[in-house]
Structure 1
């Protein structure tokens, strides 16, 4: 009798743990999650070791716009993720180097976006690997959690990106 009660209690706890695990997985995979950012490419907006909150609905329903900060799988190494700003959408022409004497423009094909880091002198981005397929976008960054003195919503676009688009 006591053994039967222990077994049923254990099974009830296991069921509860599995349900919570499934809910947590679905939430983190399809709705929102936290991301630890490393590297200098998004400075000064996002510094290395900052923690940001991302939501996945914008990428799933294609609500991403120019100026948004996104998390994407790296086009050069699919085991890594990158944090970059959307500079151009499909159909836009982008100048790879607006400061160059002879400007070279690249067309962003359908189903792709052009991503660049805010720290243009220290960022590996679409200027190196070209347009990024929309399918590689994981989520939109919209809230900085850590450090606490920078807690708050991120602005859509702190710099003028219109210079880069023709």
Structure 2
């Protein structure tokens, strides 16, 4: 018969390893990068519904987001929901949409729009988005496998 002390020691070591590697995984996904499933048609044709993308979380924390980047952010209208949109304008840029509407993006905010302009709820609906809501920057598409590739930074004309 195996002594209880030996079993409890091995169990303690296994539980310790699970906790340690769980903490490493959590910190990696929270602070370095993550996989995200994009749902909805707002970014078509760049990202189709149910595509999986790899995001990195360092650029938004350093405030290094640029025009043309695709970002994952918390929805300003529903904080439980995440949105995938493209950065169209940065603080200080003037944005015109529709025939008669124009706005200057305030400091600490960005203007986000979906690539599918006819089927996207974005800054045209809820206005500039606080940079603090940006969770990550999309790096590449990883699913479906036949479409794996890096996202090119789409050139955005200066809206001023």
Q: Normalising to structure 1: TM-score of the pair?
A: 0.93
Alpha-carbon separation, structure 1, partners of 2:50 and 2:125: 24
Alpha-carbon separation, structure 1, partners of 2:30 and 2:13: 26
The answer to whether structure 1 residue 161 and structure 2 residue 156 are counterparts is yes
Per-residue deviation at 1:153?
Answer: 0.3
Give the paired residue count: 159
Alpha-carbon separation, structure 2, partners of 1:135 and 1:84: 15
Alpha-carbon separation, structure 1, partners of 2:116 and 2:139: 18
Q: Deviations over 1:30-68 (max 9, x none)?
A: 000000000000000000000000000000001100000
The answer to whether structure 1 residue 38 and structure 2 residue 39 are counterparts is yes
Alpha-carbon separation, structure 2, partners of 1:44 and 1:156: 15
RMSD: 1.1
Alpha-carbon separation, structure 1, partners of 2:121 and 2:25: 33
Alpha-carbon separation, structure 2, partners of 1:136 and 1:104: 24
Per-residue deviation at 1:161?
Answer: 3.0
Corresponding residue number in structure 2 for 1:2: 3
The answer to whether structure 1 residue 133 and structure 2 residue 130 are counterparts is yes
Secondary structure of 1:63's match? Answer: coil
Alpha-carbon separation, structure 2, partners of 1:112 and 1:2: 62
The answer to whether structure 1 residue 105 and structure 2 residue 102 are counterparts is yes
Consecutive unaligned residues in structure 2, runs of 5 or more: none
Please identify runs of 4+ aligned residues in structure 1 that moved more than 4 A.
none
Consecutive unaligned residues in structure 1, runs of 5 or more: none
Alignment equivalent of 1:120, drawn from 106, 117, 142: 117
Q: Deviations over 1:91-115 (max 9, x none)?
A: 0000122xx3xx4210100000000
Secondary structure of 2:26's match? Answer: helix
